[in-house]
Amino acid sequence: MTAYPTDLGAPVRTTCPYCGVGCGVLARPDGTGGVSIQGDPDHPANFGRLCSKGSALGETVGLDGRLLHPVLQGRRASWDEALGAAASGLQDVLDRHGPDAVAFYLSGQLLTEDYYVANKLIKGFIGSPHVDTNSRLCMSSSVAGHKRAFGSDTVPGCYEDLDEADLLILVGSNAAWCHPILFRRMLDNRTRRGAKIIVVDPRRSATGDEADLFLPVTPGMDTALFCGLLVHLVETDALDRAYLDAHTSDFEAALSRSRAIAPDLATTARLTGLPKSDVASFFTLFRNTGRVVTCYSQGVNQSAQGTDKVGAIINCHLATGRIGRPGMGPFSLTGQPNAMGGREVGGLANMLAAHMGFAPPDIDRVRRFWDASRMAETEGLKAVALFDAIDTGRIKALWVMATNPLVSMPDADRVARALAKLELLIVSDNVASSDTVARGADILFPAAAWGEKDGTVTNSERRISRQRAFLPLPGEARPDWWIVSEVAREMGFAAAFPYRSAAEIFREHAALTAFENEGARDLDLGALVALDQDGYDALAPVQWPVPAGGAEARRLFAEGGFFTLDGRARLVPPEPPKLAASLCDTYPFWLNTGRVRDHWHTMTRTGKSPRLGSHRPVPFVEVNPADAARLGLSAGDLARVSTTSGSTVLEVEIHSGQAPGSLFVPIHWSRDTSSDGRIGPLVHGFVDPHSGQPETKATPAAIAPEPMRLRGFVLSRGPVRLAEGTWWARAAIAGGTGTLFAAHGTAREIAEWAPDLFPGADLAEYVDARADVYRCAAFSEGRFKGVLFVGPADGRPQWEAAKLLLARPDEVEDRRVALSGKPPGGQPTGPLVCACFGVGLSAIREAIASGGATTPEAIGVALRAGTNCGSCLPELRRIVVQEAVA
């Protein structure tokens, strides 16, 4: 199956499993299950750089929390049993209800080969089109936007365009945190070449902090901005008429609609809520700068009009011919490591395979190629509709792979209720306690994780890179492609699923992309069809298309050549912009969702890293200062955030970058890592009519103080469960786990937790009952086991010092110090700012105060902070300014 490196000293070239940048990683396993991680200097995505998350990958490969054997109806089972049960279960549903009752729900975390096999099984042999993926929640509006405009899901440009542009426009993208390595390339470009950066986002994120021009657009009004821009380009005669004439169609319709939406500067400014002067600057910069790249991300995609937003952006690039040429083009920054690969094999309900759709010739071609016994012949249900169909009983069997819909789906509590109605739920995952796993599946398959599995991923610039295994498969874990293939064989499809390696699957996938292609389809891997095992193992990062006998294409469409029937791009007339829902007196805030710097999705991996856990240890809601003052909320308070579909309690962060009337919450926390951090249940399920992508960034919401009497924390060697009714969130810390909590009741009642939290340990205790303070430190045979601290909510116990103790086990000589909340000699580091080098706020303040470092660059020289991935540079800049004022 898979060959593992035997020379432990040699680095394995692989690819980071986080965002869509797809950075190359050098992994050096230490031979005892650990690994040291470096950026791959030869990888063209990152040239050796890694962000905070990538740098900490070595802290995430531990086996704690892993699902290491199959589980059948809640009990451990053999592979034979579990595979047999899955096959017969699927067959049974198929026999009784037909193929339409079977669905797969996949993930942008899967490798292309995993995806390919799953897609082939359901669409070609089970005969159901209902295979969708968490990519639907991530970038399906870009897919739909690309297909409408280009006739294919093609990203026209490449990363070098970010180096070579003179104007970089980021729309709905917090690249500084979510695509840090690409953002570093943009900042480097600005430093080296003077590129301007414009950020369009309702929220001034760390990316907005860095902008030359920040445009806090009214939520949902991006389309108006780009319609206004198109009109402006027409009126100032800035169009590329030759390109428009030669390579596009429908310009007049698009312009006419754009005029109707945003006829002039004043209307554009009014609709977008921006100052006229800023809109004018934006128009002028775009008009006068040839080399413009417009990057967009979830702020554009996660919208009920996301496809139109993409269209409005692409319109401006097509109209100026700024596409497919160095430093020019629309650029979708993909969220997941292999959303692109999933799209390529057809792992979405509205695509068939290899960038082919459900047109009869495509269906026929794929049927013949696969020798499929039962082809799906219509588009299937997209994620939101798919879970609706489970709820209404249409779908009876679901196989979830590598994703956690109970956390990530909109209206996630409804999803939970729907899953309970299934006749058969199969989950393949590598963690034992994700919310979806924990609610109980009929069959659990233990999947291989990053570092253990082998295959390919495609990044945001169409570059295919290998993920290579450098760790042995733990327990009974297996690669996803193997699990799916085995089930397929059990179901009687052995001939079509003969795979013994990822390389075989890749070859078949490549062959399908080239099959009867002749340049008709953008995705063509013809040059890779003959790759043998050695060639696959040695495969260097390569950008598609790579047709047989042809060179790889860096950029497309500079000379037209679109994949529409007439070869012309379409300019799209967008619908008038508006959000799917409206605010009302009960729900007067817009609830926005997104990522934090140091976490990834539901934290199954980043949650294991102490470095990554300390930047933002609890789920929070960001509130504008004026709103906070009006509502009586202070930083660190707890607040209840409610929508029509759900409600939860989060810690308040006050941030001037948050527009008045808007709230921001991170998406990362789950039931496994928090009591109340799961945001999915709050988000409404309105979807884009073209892409089916839900509008997860604008749900009407209410916020109100949720005072809890007590706040506290538990530091322990392993995870602990706190009493029901307690608000809590858990983070990895050096030496163990930190659990921050809030509770009603009294410190005396919390004190009763101690013996259960630290069974059998000696407890040293500090009690100030009148002040409602209780602390205990646990020791066992002289070894420090952890602490429980609780106190009044308004004077929250601080865990920085206690964390130092847990990080240095067995060195607690003065047991009293463990109760003091004070560091054992030396000051605590304060909240982590630079995750790459572990530099805390205290050290930075000290460096500034000593006069030695007055700029982020000087801080970098003194402390190394900000010199790796640079994602903390905006924060460093802000600290420098704050300290200068103070």
Give residues in contact with another protein (CB under 8 A).
616-618, 620, 635-636, 651, 653, 711, 713, 740, 762-771, 773, 779, 791, 796-800, 815-817, 819-822, 827-828, 830-831, 841-842, 845
**Contact yes or no for 663/592 (Cβ under 8 A):** yes
**Cβ at position 848, least distance to another protein in Å:** 13
Tokens describing residue 585: 């007196």
Q: Which is nearer to another protein, 317 or 615 (CB)?
A: 615
Q: Which is nearer to another protein, 58 or 613 (CB)?
A: 613
In degrees and rounded to multiples of 5, residue 766 shows phi and psi of -130, 125
Q: Which is nearer to another protein, 536 or 758 (CB)?
A: 758
**Cβ at position 610, least distance to another protein in Å:** 16
Q: Which is nearer to another protein, 271 or 847 (CB)?
A: 847
Cα distances (Å, whole numbers) of residue 711 to 227, 230, 438, 618, 714: 49, 53, 27, 12, 11
Report how far residue 681's alpha carbon sits from residue 406's, in angstroms, rounded to the nearest whole number.
Answer: 8
User: DSSP per residue over 168-208, as a string?
Assistant: EEEES--HHHHSHHHHHHHHHHHHHH--EEEEE-SS--HHH
Q: Which is nearer to another protein, 473 or 618 (CB)?
A: 618
**Cβ at position 637, least distance to another protein in Å:** 10
**Cβ at position 89, least distance to another protein in Å:** 45
Q: Which is nearer to another protein, 477 or 754 (CB)?
A: 754
Q: Which is nearer to another protein, 531 or 764 (CB)?
A: 764
- Cα 262 → chain centroid: 33
Report how far residue 568's alpha carbon sits from residue 545's, in angstroms, rounded to the nearest whole number.
Answer: 19
Report how far residue 293's alpha carbon sits from residue 286's, in angstroms, rounded to the nearest whole number.
Answer: 10
Tokens describing residue 122: 């359901």
**Cβ at position 329, least distance to another protein in Å:** 40
**Contact yes or no for 206/51 (Cβ under 8 A):** no
**Contact yes or no for 455/424 (Cβ under 8 A):** no
Q: What is the DSSP letter of 607?
A: G
Q: Which is nearer to another protein, 267 or 827 (CB)?
A: 827
Q: Which is nearer to another protein, 286 or 774 (CB)?
A: 774
**Contact yes or no for 497/117 (Cβ under 8 A):** yes
Report how far residue 299's alpha carbon sits from residue 295's, in angstroms, rounded to the nearest whole number.
Answer: 11
Q: Identify the CA nearest to 616 among candidates 634, 629, 600, 639.
A: 600
User: DSSP per residue over 508-567, as a string?
Assistant: HHHHHHHTT-TTSSS---GGGTT--HHHHHTPPPEESP--TTSPPPS---TT---SSTTS
Please count the other Cβ atoms lying within 10 Å of the Cβ belonging to residue 398: 27
Q: Which is nearer to another protein, 131 or 761 (CB)?
A: 761
**Cβ at position 867, least distance to another protein in Å:** 24
Q: Identify the CA nearest to 33 among candidates 66, 2, 55.
A: 66
**Cβ at position 808, least distance to another protein in Å:** 18
**Cβ at position 145, least distance to another protein in Å:** 38
Q: Identify the CA nearest to 208 among candidates 584, 587, 655, 593.
A: 655
**Cβ at position 762, least distance to another protein in Å:** 4
Sequence-distant (6+) residues with CB within 8 A of 515 are 354, 365, 369
Q: Which is nearer to another protein, 53 or 616 (CB)?
A: 616
**Contact yes or no for 590/662 (Cβ under 8 A):** yes
**Cβ at position 863, least distance to another protein in Å:** 17
**Contact yes or no for 459/44 (Cβ under 8 A):** no
**Cβ at position 799, least distance to another protein in Å:** 7
Q: Which is nearer to another protein, 613 or 735 (CB)?
A: 613
With H, G, I as helix, E, B as strand and everything else as coil, classify residue 595.
Answer: coil
Q: Which is nearer to another protein, 287 or 845 (CB)?
A: 845
**Cβ at position 672, least distance to another protein in Å:** 20
Q: Which is nearer to another protein, 38 or 798 (CB)?
A: 798
In degrees and rounded to multiples of 5, residue 351 shows phi and psi of -125, 155
Single-letter amino acid code for the residue at 290: G
**Cβ at position 618, least distance to another protein in Å:** 6
**Cβ at position 490, least distance to another protein in Å:** 50
- Cα 581 → chain centroid: 24
